[in-house]
Structure 1
Amino acid sequence: MHHARYLFQGGKQRMKRTFSVAVLVILACTILFSGGAAWAWSGRLGWTFKADAPITSSVAVAGGLVLAGDSVGNLYAVQAASGRLAWSYKGTNSVVGRPSIMGDKVIFAQADGTITCLAVKSGKVAWQYVPPEESYAAETVVDGTAVGENKAFFVKGDGKLYAISAANGKVLWTYDSGLELRSAPAFASGLVLLGEQRGVFSAISPKNGKRLWGGGAGGAINTPSVNGGNVFFSSWDGSVQSVRIKGVVPQWKANVGDPVTTAPFIGGGKVFVGTANGKIAALAEKNGSVLWSFDTQGGSVAAQPVFGEGLVFAGGGQGTLFVLDAASGRERFTFATGGGINGSPAFAGGVLYLGSADGNLYAIM
């Protein structure tokens, strides 16, 4: 039987106990927080899956499966309903970034630059790209819908952005930034969007890898995020900015006061980021005004926050998941894991799926 430390915290009332998974699963009540509000998302632990090593990737959900990778190269597909293993694939190096779903395939990256494409249902290998030399690879970003642009995009430590065929894994083109790249690209509105270490963001043509337009910030730029026709960039200089993709029109630029370490997450009319000083900040999506900031009182926030059902879910540097009211930034409760949270969780179907360096994958309902 797996055990997990389960900590709730709300207003002036605090409860701290250790429950077994068996006990938690039979809990049927909805947790009430200060102010008397009942939340549809209760924070009940549904199941725990034990991996062979610390979970290093972000989490993806597709076809009733929860996908996440660990530090020794395993990619796991776990049944979302039960937490039972559907299949696993054994790689050779730490799985990084978030597995990307393209139709009935999943494409994921390993830290040595290997990119692998598997069938989501079975885990059968469709193709694999193996770099000529070992190098860092950020997460893959796949465009599986645009006609003629069925490609996977990823960056490596050689400073290049790669486009490979999502059908067979062959390299189609590369874009050389001239410096080491440490954040993944994004794809939206027919563009590959890339943040660079030198504080430059670029829009790249997916057809040929040509740089079409770009801008700058005062520090290294994290993975861009896209919503409502705008692209959002965050930077280590503390800035967050929004640019309308059509016409390349700057919308706003704000500063949260600390180096931003995560990609922005947009939800509920707000932009959420994590910082190097352990803070979660929320900005207005429309104008960039800083709405609130919450101090986790831990280390750097490495994982992108996520939003769902009026709540913000963010992993702290010391292995605690913080659940905040998205409107006010008020702490609703926390969930303590036994290790750091280095990958972003996923919220799907009213369930939060979370990986931890303690080697566990959690489903919290």
Structure 2
Amino acid sequence: MTVERRRIAFLTIVAVLIALTAFMHYRAARRNLLFTARQARLRVLARAAWPVFRGGQGLPGTATGPFSTNLHLLWTFKAGEEIKSSPVIGGGCVYIGASESNLYCLSLEDGRQRWVYNTAEAVEAPPLLAGGMVVAGSLDGCVYALDAGTGALKWKYQTGDKVIGSANWAHGADGTGIVILAGSYDSSMHCIDASSGTSLWTHETGNYINGAPAVEDGIVAFGGCDAQLRFVSVTGGIEQARVDAGAYIAASPVLAGGEAFACTYAGKLLCVDVAARRVTWEYASENGAAFFSSPAVDGERVVAGARDARVHCVNRKDGTRRWVFHTQGDVDSSPVLCGPYVVVGSNDGRVYVLDADTGLCAWQYEIGAAVSSSPAVTGGMIIVGADDGRVYAFGPLPR
């Protein structure tokens, strides 16, 4: 080999080594960048919270934090059968029930199953996160309290009939411990000690209790199939007030700032002054179509879905109509107000994001199976179940 060829070969080897070194540095930097981005995303997901059906103890159906219509399908999870339950979120996990009797814990990041707990019947009730536990009712008539991290059973409380509404929580009489509140088809509201699972009191009504109880300032509000909207004390379950709604209340009420909002089977959306014990206004759906959806309430609006295939938005002040959005199926899913948007599912198989001011559709996704599950909205994400047995997660694509 001539001197010139040796020189060329040497320079070629040096160039290749430099290129390889640069490539390795690039790959390492990219790995570090991706790792840093994932760690940042995991921190955001860990802070994401929707611990109670409808987002908070008063069941307002409102979400805080950033939210945009830059939404993509991030993941799905397939359960065994249809999902009527609604998700709750906390600690980077999604908790939801399914009709094959299971309660699932999934990763909020990618939808992978972390644990599953089997009850004796379908879990249609949305779970509750409280005191490090996930609490959920089952059609077997029991309320189950599980360790939120492991799914291990802490206690099981037996009611007299099926439980299809979410439980809620409140501070106990001493102001430190917590109690669990759950309605049942045995026509009673049950107050359960969260640490032991023992009964503290029951409040008997005249018919089935379908929905979740709302809690605010030591008062528990709930409706039922006896057409009464009741207000009882957290301590002792003593009735403070009762308002005749005129027809049975299939969904959950809202307690917000001394007012209660409830929907009825007769197609009425009611606003109640709790202190005065009277209805201050009412709004009627088209042709008296029933409301099975729970309302969402912010400072200006009240939004609910009805079995006239419409989403109705009215003024909170006086109940006058702001807008109506037409879907192609009954709207049993309960909407969520997210700043300038409303998120809701429909039995037409779609998830919608609507403009809260105009009711115009800003985004939609066709699942292809009825969505009676109510969405959880947090961390810029939407999590919802569907009748195809899947849980769907939508949000911005990870960077």
Q: State the TM-score bracket (shorter-chain normalisation).
A: 0.7 to 0.9
- Residue 257 (structure 2) aligned to one of 222, 228, 233: 228
**Cα displacement (A) at 1:281:** 0.4
Tell me the alpha carbon deviations over residues 131-167 of structure 1, each in whole angstroms, 9 at most, x when there is no partner.
4x55344221122577167211112212111111111
Is 1:135–1:157's contact at 8 Å kept on the other side of the alignment?
yes
Tell me the alpha carbon deviations over residues 25-56 of structure 1, each in whole angstroms, 9 at most, x when there is no partner.
xxxxxxxxxxxxxx833121111112222222
Alignment of 1:81-96 (within 5 A): 81-96=109-124
Specify the alignment match of 1:358 in structure 2.
Answer: 388
Q: Does 1:159 align with 2:187?
A: yes
Residues 266 and 62 (structure 1), Cα distance of their counterparts in 2 relative to 1, 3 Å cut:
same
Distance 2:299 2:85 in 1: 25
Specify the alignment match of 1:335 in structure 2.
Answer: 365
Distance 2:110 2:356 in 1: 29
**Cα displacement (A) at 1:250:** 4.8
Alignment of 1:270-285 (within 5 A): 270-285=301-316
* Structure 1 runs not aligned, ≥5 long: 1-38
Distance 1:101 1:267 in 2: 23
Specify the alignment match of 2:48 in structure 1.
Answer: none
Q: Does 1:289 align with 2:316?
A: no
Q: Does 1:50 align with 2:78?
A: yes
Is 2:304–2:313's contact at 8 Å kept on the other side of the alignment?
yes
**Cα displacement (A) at 1:186:** 1.7
Greater shift in the superposed pair: 167-176 or 246-255? 246-255
TM-score, normalised to structure 2, is: 0.76
**Cα displacement (A) at 1:238:** 2.2
Q: Does 1:237 align with 2:270?
A: no
The residue type equivalent to 1:76 in the other structure is: Y
Residues 64 and 229 (structure 1), Cα distance of their counterparts in 2 relative to 1, 3 Å cut:
farther
- Residue 229 (structure 2) aligned to one of 201, 205, 228: 201
Q: Does 1:302 align with 2:332?
A: yes
Distance 1:159 1:249 in 2: 23
**Cα displacement (A) at 1:207:** 1.6
SS of corresponding position for 1:162? strand
Q: Does 1:323 align with 2:350?
A: no
Greater shift in the superposed pair: 340-349 or 241-250? 241-250
**Cα displacement (A) at 1:328:** 0.6
Distance 1:145 1:65 in 2: 27
Distance 1:167 1:152 in 2: 10
Distance 2:137 2:270 in 1: 28
Distance 1:123 1:274 in 2: 33
Distance 2:177 2:206 in 1: 25
Query: More strand per residue: 1 or 2?
Result: 1
**Cα displacement (A) at 1:218:** 2.2
Is 2:335–2:345's contact at 8 Å kept on the other side of the alignment?
yes
Is 1:140–1:152's contact at 8 Å kept on the other side of the alignment?
yes
Q: Does 1:69 align with 2:100?
A: no
**Cα displacement (A) at 1:309:** 4.2
The residue type equivalent to 2:187 in the other structure is: G
Greater shift in the superposed pair: 187-196 or 335-344? 335-344
Specify the alignment match of 1:3 in structure 2.
Answer: none
Is 1:196–1:220's contact at 8 Å kept on the other side of the alignment?
yes
The residue type equivalent to 1:356 in the other structure is: A
Aligned-residue RMSD, C-alpha: 2.0
Specify the alignment match of 1:138 in structure 2.
Answer: 165
Distance 2:190 2:356 in 1: 36
Distance 1:267 1:138 in 2: 22
**Cα displacement (A) at 1:103:** 2.9
Specify the alignment match of 2:342 in structure 1.
Answer: 312
**Cα displacement (A) at 1:277:** 1.4
SS of corresponding position for 1:96? coil
* Structure 2 runs not aligned, ≥5 long: 1-66
SS of corresponding position for 2:231? strand
Distance 2:361 2:166 in 1: 30
Tell me the alpha carbon deviations over residues 99-120 of structure 1, each in whole angstroms, 9 at most, x when there is no partner.
1111311111111211111122
Tell me the alpha carbon deviations over residues 75-128 of structure 1, each in whole angstroms, 9 at most, x when there is no partner.
111111222222221222111222111131111111121111112222222111
Distance 1:136 1:105 in 2: 18
SS of corresponding position for 2:125? strand
Tell me the alpha carbon deviations over residues 310-345 of structure 1, each in whole angstroms, 9 at most, x when there is no partner.
221111113221221111111123212242212211
Distance 2:246 2:290 in 1: 11
**Cα displacement (A) at 1:248:** 4.4
Tell me the alpha carbon deviations over residues 222-262 of structure 1, each in whole angstroms, 9 at most, x when there is no partner.
31112233221111222222234455465433323332221
Residues 88 and 248 (structure 1), Cα distance of their counterparts in 2 relative to 1, 3 Å cut:
same
Is 1:199–1:217's contact at 8 Å kept on the other side of the alignment?
yes
- Count of matched residue pairs: 325
**Cα displacement (A) at 1:210:** 2.0
**Cα displacement (A) at 1:267:** 3.4
TM-score, normalised to structure 1, is: 0.83
Query: More helix per residue: 1 or 2?
Result: 2
**Cα displacement (A) at 1:59:** 0.9
The residue type equivalent to 1:168 in the other structure is: S
Instruction: Report percent identity of matched pairs.
Output: 28
Larger Rg: 2
